Amino acid sequence: MQPEGSDSSVAVIGAGITGLTAAYALQQRGKRVHLIEGRPRAGGVIESVREQGFLVESGPNALLLNDPALLAFFDELGLSGELLEAGATGKKRFIVRGGRVLSVPMSPGEFLRTPLFSARAKLRLAKEPFVPRADPAHEQSVAEFTRHRLGGEVLDYAVDPLVGGIYAGDPEKLSLRHAFPLLFRFEAEQGSLVRGGLHAALSRKKSGKPRFKSRSVSFRGGLAQLTDTLAGRLGDALTLDTSLEGVDLDGGFRLRVRHLGEESRELTVDRLVVATPGYAAARLVFQGTQTPLGELGAIQYPPVASVALGFRREDVQHALDGFGVLCPAREELSILGTLFTSSLFAGRAPAGHVLLTSYVGGSRRPELALLPKDSLERLVLADLERLLGVRGKPVFSRVSSVAEAIPQYNLGYERFLSAMTEAEQRHPGLFIGGHLRDGASVGDCIRAGQALALRAAA
Ligand SMILES: Cc1cc2nc3c(=O)[nH]c(=O)nc-3n(C[C@H](O)[C@H](O)[C@H](O)COP(=O)(O)OP(=O)(O)OC[C@H]3O[C@@H](n4cnc5c(N)ncnc54)[C@H](O)[C@@H]3O)c2cc1C
């Protein structure tokens, strides 16, 4: 081991969007930052690949721009001119019922006419404001909450597919409080979703704040244009192919880091920001002391495969006039859903072609996500033929499997949040955040990175 001398600065571990944002914000505040990334590239699960004229995302495809601060951040990075909006088509979504691809109603009139829900389910929905509030002492699963407030059919044909699309998760296991905190608050504070929504709208109006129009966005070069830009701004502060192996705590943090194929070296910093997944944080060895971070190894990250297939336009019958289609578990399809990628953002497929990105696995059928690529392609193609009228072979295919994909905010998640708080209290100067604590969406992770930097710079 080669001691490298002391360095009064901040180390950020993990160059996903959380760690990149945190390191960039710390650098902007004049801090000396070391961003340490174990893999040969920055971005974490965000990866955009251009192949044969198609632009494919291995991880997230879009981020929800729901906050003016996010827009200001993209502007600061010189990226606002590169933003692509999903546009009107992106508002329309489809759900499968009885093998048919049905559009999700967007207005009261459409809701009354839609065959997605039976007349009984529609009546049941109308009773929501009168359903008694659940016992606040009992932690509800998303499924339990939906059955109680909205009925079983809404669970099966709206919430279950939505949960598959957002978390690749199981509504019976996900905690309402942690996976959908806004809905939890609406019920806890106003006793109903309808009253909660009205109250939120009224409060916003009273505050006089202009309404920010939320929309799904990406960048011309894919989401990796954001992570690549951040990595570029960080320059030498970012070290790739280098893993944090352990931490000695004797006045500051003495880190043992190992660059691929080299001996471990030491780096001493007085603040340490951990922006890794839970299973990686759990493996960090804090020398000479027990740390509650070991708990984080129990956070579930089921595998997800993303299967991007390109077709000639005339080989797909469906109009592809929307964001994509979600598949309820009851429909017993292999896919969780499919994004109409080339309808969402310009430049994702060559002229005369379309790109469809399907997701397989998650909590629903984890065993499928790790199948060989040709089996995955076959399964997806069979579903696309049934649902979207795909004919003929794809002209392009790219399959990427993430063995540990999206954290599941399951029942009992509070114990992981407590472990992170306890670790920070036990080791002053340690800060933990990102998808395992602050919300799993890309936007949540950007906000988490900024908040981590604020705390670590204080
Ligand atoms: C398939 C998929 C689809 C998704 N779709 C969407 C979507 O459409 N929209 C959306 O908003 N969100 C989506 N998400 C969620 C979102 O992309 C992630 O939650 C977010 O990008 C996570 O960022 P992060 O920086 O917190 O973690 P990560 O991206 O996991 O980054 C953590 C980094 O830490 C590094 N690391 C780990 N251990 C060490 C160590 N010891 N030393 C050094 N480095 C280490 C890893 O190599 C990695 O680069 C999706 C996620 C997946 C997997």
Q: Is residue 49 part of a domain?
A: no
C-alpha dist (Å) from residue 281 to 64, 239, 243, 433, 434 = 27, 18, 12, 11, 12
Q: Is residue 355 part of a domain?
A: yes
Q: Render pLDDT for 277-330 as a digit per residue (tens, 0 to 9).
A: 999 999 887 776 778 889 999 999 999 999 999 999 999 999 999 999 999 999
- Are 185 and 243 members of one domain? no
**193-207 and 181-190 are packed helices; what angle lies between their axes, rounded to 10 degrees?**
90
- What is the Cα–Cα distance from 337 to 199, expressed in whole angstroms? 33
Task: Provide the CATH number for the domain around residue 174.
Answer: 1.10.3110.10
Q: Is residue 215 part of a domain?
A: no
pLDDT-derived band at 224 (thresholds 50, 70, 90) equals: very high
pLDDT over 80 (residue 250): no
- Are 414 and 349 members of one domain? no
Q: Per DSSP, what are the bridge partners of residue 271?
A: 10
Nearest atom, ligand 1, residue 64 CA: 11
Element (H, E) at 163: helix 160-167
Q: Which of 85-89, 322-326, 355-359 has the lowest mean pLDDT?
A: 85-89
Q: For the residues 364-377, what does the mean pLDDT come to?
A: 96
Q: For the residues 26-48, what does the mean pLDDT come to?
A: 96
Q: Single out the residue of 276, 343, 436, 305 nearest to residue 85, CA to CA.
A: 343
- Are 332 and 382 members of one domain? yes
Indicate which residue's Cα is closest to atom 33 of ligand 1: 14
pLDDT over 50 (residue 5): no
Indicate which residue's Cα is closest to atom 4 of ligand 1: 60
- Are 373 and 392 members of one domain? yes
Percent of the chain with pLDDT over 90: 85
CA of 168 to the centre of ligand 1 (A): 14
Ligand 1 test: best mutation among 36, 257, 276, 307, most atoms within 8 Å of CB?
276
Task: Provide the CATH number for the domain around residue 431.
Answer: 3.50.50.60
Indicate which residue's Cα is closest to atom 7 of ligand 1: 60
Residue 239 is part of which domain span?
Answer: 10-44+223-300+409-457
Q: Name every protein residue with a CB atom under 6 angstroms from any ligand 1 atom.
A: 13-19, 36-39, 44-46, 59-63, 243-244, 275-277, 280, 304, 306, 402, 405-406, 434-435, 440-442, 445
CA of 24 to the centre of ligand 1 (A): 17
Average pLDDT value for the chain: 94
Query: In this predicted structure, what is the pLDDT of residue 198?
Result: 94
pLDDT over 90 (residue 87): no
- What is the Cα–Cα distance from 54 to 4, expressed in whole angstroms? 45
Sheet of strand 324-326: strand arrangement: 100-103, 93-97, 324-326, 335-339, 353-361, 304-312, 396-402
Task: Provide the CATH number for the domain around residue 351.
Answer: 3.90.660.20
CA of 17 to the centre of ligand 1 (A): 7
Q: How far is CA 28 from the centre of its chain?
A: 26
Dihedral angle sign, alpha carbons of residues 153, 156, 159, 161 = negative
Query: In this predicted structure, what is the pLDDT of residue 6?
Result: 39
Q: Is residue 446 part of a domain?
A: yes
Q: For the residues 125-130, what does the mean pLDDT come to?
A: 94
pLDDT-derived band at 21 (thresholds 50, 70, 90) equals: very high
Of the residues 402, 423, 449, the one at which a domain ends: 402
- Are 242 and 284 members of one domain? yes
Q: Is residue 346 part of a domain?
A: yes
Q: Render pLDDT for 442-451 as a digit per residue (tens, 0 to 9).
A: 999 999 999 9
pLDDT over 60 (residue 1): no
Q: Where are the beta strands (DSSP E) in 173-274?
A: 215-219, 238-239, 242-249, 253-259, 264-269, 271-274
pLDDT-derived band at 88 (thresholds 50, 70, 90) equals: confident
pLDDT over 60 (residue 7): no
101 in Cβ contact with 387 (< 8 Å): yes
Q: Is residue 109 part of a domain?
A: no
- Are 296 and 419 members of one domain? yes
- Are 296 and 308 members of one domain? no
Q: Is residue 394 part of a domain?
A: yes
Of the residues 137, 172, 207, the one at which a domain ends: 207
- Are 17 and 134 members of one domain? no
Q: Render pLDDT for 178-222 as a digit per residue (tens, 0 to 9).
A: 999 999 999 999 999 999 999 998 998 898 888 888 999 999 999
Query: In this predicted structure, what is the pLDDT of residue 251?
Result: 72
- Are 274 and 321 members of one domain? no
Query: In this predicted structure, what is the pLDDT of residue 392?
Result: 86
Q: Render pLDDT for 46-83 as a digit per residue (tens, 0 to 9).
A: 999 999 999 999 999 999 999 999 999 999 999 999 99
Query: In this predicted structure, what is the pLDDT of residue 8?
Result: 57
- Are 245 and 268 members of one domain? yes
CA of 153 to the centre of ligand 1 (A): 33
Dihedral angle sign, alpha carbons of residues 247, 250, 252, 256 = negative
- What is the Cα–Cα distance from 433 to 448, expressed in whole angstroms? 6
Nearest atom, ligand 1, residue 284 CA: 41
Indicate which residue's Cα is closest to atom 13 of ligand 1: 60
Ligand 1 test: best mutation among 442, 447, 450, most atoms within 8 Å of CB?
442
Q: For the residues 367-375, what does the mean pLDDT come to?
A: 96
CA of 46 to the centre of ligand 1 (A): 7
- What is the Cα–Cα distance from 317 to 388, expressed in whole angstroms? 6
- Are 351 and 435 members of one domain? no
- Are 182 and 315 members of one domain? no
Q: Is residue 1 part of a domain?
A: no
Cα three-residue angle 276-277-283, rounded to 5 degrees: 85
Question: Domains in the chain: how many in total?
Answer: 3
pLDDT over 90 (residue 90): no
Percent of the chain with pLDDT over 70: 98
